[in-house]
């Protein structure tokens, strides 16, 4: 965008005067942040209007990306970068005696997501806008995002996340976009004036959805602006003045409170099924409001709903928006008068679904009674979808057990993944391995009848945020070496391969990592007081805390080193620092105990300076997008150690790689493709492969045999009973070898332990050879282009959405 420093300054002064009646001399950093953000929001709006006009003119097909989570992080820095206005604002603020970096710190993270799924959705919005595909994202405007994590006495405590005061400035309230969503009540059939049989939902409760739009600009001259629409739930009826006047304040407020509950909090759960009625209401609220809004716009433009599949793609990101299928059916039939067959044809040609997990507990299932009570009309439609589907497969004489596996309604449960597969045009997994696994396991029966439905789109990350903005030193070295085109053509990073034996370049890569480590250590010291040794190897594992991700395996390895050093404190080893960042769902007790274990181990090490010099552990409190942006550029080892077959893709593996960290990982998710790109010599792979996991499982995996026969493992597990910093972890030792209520060590930490420590040993030896290590880092950076979300989006556009870019007349 073309704006001079002076023009920018005028705009900021104007906002300060209008909103705060203040001059820069008297303004505080919060007021400056708000004024700057409001200026940027106006500029985005202006850009969006130009872009919207182009889309409407060309009547392009648009993608509507429905997702219960968007892990946006901070917006100001990203928006300035994408608009090309960072320098102008930097200069302007300097003139006002403020630093732009200081102002960035005033913004809270918009943590409207749990983990990988939500961050992926945000990366996709960036790429959609940059590549200029017409797109809109839809989610809820949760008043409280993912909880703020505090560590108190080494344990996780969940506090409400108040992100709105600083996040609200990005939203444009759209009073013209208000839709009513119905819950409960009963379904009634009636005949309309023409004698046609119709259906309506009566006596239910209604809640209004109010739109708040956030503009997301793409990067570069040809970029567009995507809109992320966040729905707020609000009472659809007028305030109960009667009760209020009679002094019954509680009753007067009740209806409002109940309605608002729907967009109050994000469920702090990841891969953990929560059969909560409120969650079901949230999911329906999202899809109903989004589809009503879409159909209204569609009718305005095209006058008929019949060409919907030519002009709109509805993408269900995981099963959470699965109700889009029966809701679209309802709207097309009940509101627009289409027959079942017409509506079904349109629905299946419009909706697509991405699966993000094979973990059984994360495959959403609703209790049939709850479903019927909360959404009677949607229930009736879902039953009919199921009935017709079952009839069609019965007609093909399919095996009864196979049919049962595919039913949407079975054993008093409503299975959302089955609904998604039956009602979608395409279904994709998120890495090559994962897309094969879903065809072989959870969707194997469907794959037999719809082989063309299944496809793969490997995940990606926006390299503009995760490399260019968060690692400016590395970005400028790359620009120096291959020019700036990789900003929008990430595949050009491969041009770095020609420097693979260039000593000067390799040294620079090493120096940049060192400088980033030093910066990170300073940042941590300043913000937490923890002292990191930048001369040690930074080895990082950051992701939601879950058994299958095996943070525990990492801890077992560290305890093993700790025991070695306790035996022999003079042992000559290269110093290592293990950094963890993870939140655990509040109800997931075992995961919370692992957080406690990491923190206790860290605390014990702090008391022993001799050990700390060689082996340190740090737990990052309240790990979020902003913390990741600080930490990833400083990390040297990327721990991606899930049990093979369990991690759908992973995306931190991609963020680390593009910042020159080397992966220590299993052949799981996208690690497989990362390994293929960089070659075996530039990654440290260990552990069981997916088929071996299956085999070990079928053979009756028994971890206690490993414990009894391997002295190292025995010692480590026994040490958990003694504990750290005064806290025993016998429960975790039991989990590993006794199991108590389930199979011991269900994610096979003990079976992979030996190979893991061997790979870590090889890695340590390689690290000692600086030239070799820097070369590995360079190859990882050079091969990361394919893991840009620009590539993922291009794949979706071509293979799933059939979407064209908006044409921009080059200036």
Which residues make up the interface to ligand 26V (CB under 6 A)? 114-117, 120, 267, 269-274, 279, 318, 356-357, 362, 430, 459, 647-651, 669
* Local structure of 687: helix, strand or coil: coil
Q: Is 544 a catalytic residue?
A: yes
Which among 332, 350, 232, 249 is positioned nearest to 292, based on CA atoms? 332
Which of 626, 651, 690, 757 is catalytic? The answer is 651
Instruction: Give the H/E segment covering residue 314.
Output: strand 312-317
> DSSP readout, 457-519?
----B-HIIIIIIT-HHHHHHHHHHH-GGGGT-GGGGGGGGGGTT-HHHHHHHHHHHHHHHHH
| Given the residues 148, 320, 546, 549, the one annotated as active site | 549
Tokens 């490993």 locate to 706
Q: Please, what is the minimum distance in Å from the beta carbon of residue 686 to ligand 26V?
A: 19
Beta strands in 519-661 (DSSP E): 537-542, 576-581, 615-620, 637-640
655 is catalytic: yes
Q: Is 272 a catalytic residue?
A: no
Query: Is the CB of 287 or the CB of 338 nearer to ligand 26V?
Result: 287
Instruction: Report yes or no: 139 and 112 within 8 Å, Cβ to Cβ.
Output: yes
For the bound state, the minimum distance from the C-beta of residue 698 to ligand 26V, rounded and expressed in Å, comes to 24
CA distance 12 to 33: 10
Q: Is 216 helix (H, G, I), strand (E, B) or coil?
A: strand
Cα gap 113→107, rounded to integer Å: 17
Alpha helices, H only, 331-423 = 340-350, 368-374, 376-395, 400-406, 416-423
State which residue, 98 or 267, has the beta carbon closest to ligand 26V.
Answer: 267
CB-nearer residue toward ligand 26V: 200 or 279: 279
The residue annotated as part of the active site, out of 537, 543, 546, 614, is 543
Closest by CA to 618, choosing from 544, 485, 521, 477, is 521
SS (H, E, C) 745-793: CCCCHHHHHHHHHHHHHHHHHHHHCHHHHHHHHHHHHHCCHHHEHHHHH
The Cβ of residue 408 has, within 10 Å, a number of other Cβ atoms equal to: 25
The CA distance from 673 to 436, in Å, is: 13
Residue 308 CB, shortest distance to ligand 26V, in Å, is: 27
Counting beta carbons within 10 angstroms of the beta carbon of residue 538, is it exposed (0 to 12), middle (13 to 18) or buried (19 or more)? buried
CB of 436 to ligand 26V, least distance (A): 15
- Least Å distance between CB 81 and ligand 26V? 24
Handedness of CA 783, 787, 790, 791 (dihedral sign): positive
Q: Quote the DSSP letter at residue 450.
A: -
DSSP element (H, E) containing 558: helix 551-567
Question: Rounded to whole angstroms, how far apart are CA atoms 63 and 805?
Answer: 11
- State the minimum distance, in angstroms, from the CB of residue 790 to ligand 26V: 16
Residue with tokens 């493709």: 673
Whether 651 is a known active-site residue: answer yes
Closer CB to ligand 26V, 586 or 739, in the complex: 586
Q: Give the β-pairing of 427-429 and 351-354.
A: parallel
C-beta separation of 748 from 696 below 8 A: yes
Kindly state the smallest distance separating residue 792's Cβ from ligand 26V, in Å.
Answer: 10
Taking the C-alpha atoms of residue 291 and residue 351, their distance in angstroms, rounded to an integer, is 11
User: Least distance (Å) from ligand 26V to the CB of residue 206?
Assistant: 25
Task: In angstroms, give the least distance from the CB of 431 to ligand 26V.
Answer: 8
Nearer to ligand 26V, 420 or 509 (CB): 420
Strand-strand pairing, 427-429 and 413-415: unpaired
Q: Among residues 141, 298, 356, 517, which one is catalytic?
A: 356
Q: Residue 11 or 135: which CB sits closer to ligand 26V?
A: 135
Find the shortest distance in angstroms from Cβ 457 to ligand 26V: 10
Q: Which is nearer to ligand 26V, 127 or 357 (CB)?
A: 357
Q: Considering beta carbons, is residue 8 or 135 the nearer one to ligand 26V?
A: 135
Per-position b or e across 724-763, b if 16+ CB within 10 A of its CB: bbebebebbbebbbeeeeeebbbbbbbbbbeebbebbeeb
Which residue is at the shortest CB distance from ligand 26V? 116
Specify the residue, 34 or 320, whose C-beta has the smaller distance to ligand 26V. 320
Question: Minimum distance between the CB of residue 366 and ligand 26V, rounded to whole angstroms?
Answer: 11
537 vs 544 by CB, closer to ligand 26V: 544
Nearer CB in complex with ligand 26V: 93/262: 262
> Rounded to whole angstroms, how far apart are CA atoms 679 and 675?
5
Given 3, 426, 464, 655, the catalytic residue: 655
Catalytic residues: 356, 543-544, 549, 651, 655
């Amino acid at each position: 965008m073309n704006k001079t420093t002076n023009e920018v300054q005028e705009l900021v002064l104007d906002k300060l005067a209008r909103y705060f009646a203040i001059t820069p001399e008297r303004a505080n950093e919060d007021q400056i942040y708000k004024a700057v953000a409001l200026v940027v929001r106006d500029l985005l709006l202006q850009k969006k209007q130009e872009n919207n006009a182009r889309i409407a003119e060309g009547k392009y097909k648009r993608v509507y990306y429905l997702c219960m989570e968007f892990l946006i992080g901070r917006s100001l820095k990203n928006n300035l970068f994408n608009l090309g206005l960072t320098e102008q604002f930097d200069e302007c603020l300097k003139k006002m005696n403020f630093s732009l970096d200081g102002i960035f710190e005033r913004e809270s993270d918009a943590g409207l997501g749990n983990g990988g799924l939500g961050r992926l959705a945000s990366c996709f919005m960036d790429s959609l806008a940059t590549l200029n595909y017409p797109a809109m994202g839809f989610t809820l405007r949760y008043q409280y995002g993912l909880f703020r994590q505090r560590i108190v006495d080494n344990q996780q405590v969940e506090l409400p996340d108040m992100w709105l005061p600083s996040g609200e400035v990005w939203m444009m309230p759209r009073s013209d976009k208000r839709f009513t969503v119905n819950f409960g009540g009963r379904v009634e059939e009636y005949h309309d004036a023409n004698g046609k049989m119709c259906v309506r939902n009566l006596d239910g409760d209604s809640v209004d959805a109010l739109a708040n739009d956030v503009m997301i600009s793409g990067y570069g001259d040809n970029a567009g602006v995507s809109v992320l629409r966040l729905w707020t739930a609000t009472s659809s009826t007028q305030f109960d003045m009667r009760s209020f006047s009679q002094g019954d304040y509680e009753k007067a407020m009740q209806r409002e409170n109940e309605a608002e509950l729907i967009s109050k909090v994000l469920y702090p759960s990841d891969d953990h099924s929560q059969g909560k009625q409120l969650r079901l209401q949230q999911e329906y609220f999202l899809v109903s409001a989004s589809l009503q809004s879409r159909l209204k716009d569609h009718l305005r433009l095209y006058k008929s709903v019949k060409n919907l599949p030519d002009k709109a793609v509805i993408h269900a990101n995981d099963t959470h928006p699965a109700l889009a299928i029966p809701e679209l059916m309802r709207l097309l039939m009940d509101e627009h008068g289409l027959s079942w067959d017409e509506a079904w044809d349109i629905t299946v040609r419009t909706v697509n679904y991405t699966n993000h997990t094979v973990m059984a507990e994360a495959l959403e299932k609703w209790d049939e009674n709850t479903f019927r009570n909360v959404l009677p009309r949607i229930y009736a439609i879902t039953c009919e979808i199921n009935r017709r589907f079952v009839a069609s497969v019965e007609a093909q004489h399919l095996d009864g057990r196979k049919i049962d596996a595919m039913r949407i309604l079975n054993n008093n449960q409503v299975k959302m993944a089955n609904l998604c597969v039956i009602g979608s045009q395409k279904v994709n997994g998120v890495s090559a391995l994962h897309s094969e696994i879903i065809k072989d396991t959870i969707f194997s029966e469907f794959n037999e009848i719809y082989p063309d439905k299944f496809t793969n789109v490997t995940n990606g990350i926006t390299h503009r945020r995760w490399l260019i903005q968060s690692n400016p030193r590395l970005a400028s070295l790359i620009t120096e070496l291959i020019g700036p085109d990789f900003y929008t053509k990430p595949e050009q990073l491969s041009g770095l391969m020609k420097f693979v034996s260039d000593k000067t370049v390799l040294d620079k890569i090493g120096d940049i990592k060192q400088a980033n480590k030093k910066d990170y250590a300073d940042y941590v010291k300043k913000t937490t007081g923890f002292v990191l040794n930048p001369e040690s190897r930074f080895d990082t594992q950051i992701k939601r805390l879950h058994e299958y991700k095996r943070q525990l395996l990492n801890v077992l390895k560290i305890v093993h080193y700790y025991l070695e050093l306790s035996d022999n404190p003079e042992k000559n080893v290269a110093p290592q620092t293990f950094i963890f960042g993870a939140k655990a769902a509040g109800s997931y007790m075992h995961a919370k105990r692992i957080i406690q274990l990491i923190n206790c181990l860290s605390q014990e090490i702090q008391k022993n300076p001799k050990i700390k010099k060689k082996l340190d552990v740090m737990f990052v409190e309240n790990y979020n997008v902003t913390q990741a942006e600080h930490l990833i550029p400083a990390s040297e080892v990327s721990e991606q150690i899930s049990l093979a077959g369990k991690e759908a893709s992973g995306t931190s593996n991609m963020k680390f790689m593009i910042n020159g960290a080397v992966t220590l990982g299993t052949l799981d998710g996208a690690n497989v493709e990362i390994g293929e790109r960089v070659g075996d010599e530039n990654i440290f792979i260990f552990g069981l492969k997916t088929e071996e996991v299956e085999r070990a499982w079928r053979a009756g995996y028994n971890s206690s045999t490993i414990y009894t026969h391997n002295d190292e493992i025995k010692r480590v597990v026994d040490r958990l009973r003694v504990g750290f910093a005064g806290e025993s972890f016998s429960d975790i030792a039991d989990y590993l070898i006794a199991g108590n209520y389930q199979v011991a060590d269900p994610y096979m930490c003990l079976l992979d332990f030996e190979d893991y420590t061997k790979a870590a040993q090889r890695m340590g030896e390689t690290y000692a050879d600086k030239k070799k290590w820097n070369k590995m880092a360079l190859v990882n950076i050079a091969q990361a282009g394919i893991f840009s979300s620009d590539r993922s989006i291009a794949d979706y556009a071509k293979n799933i959405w059939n979407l064209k870019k908006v044409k921009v007349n080059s200036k």
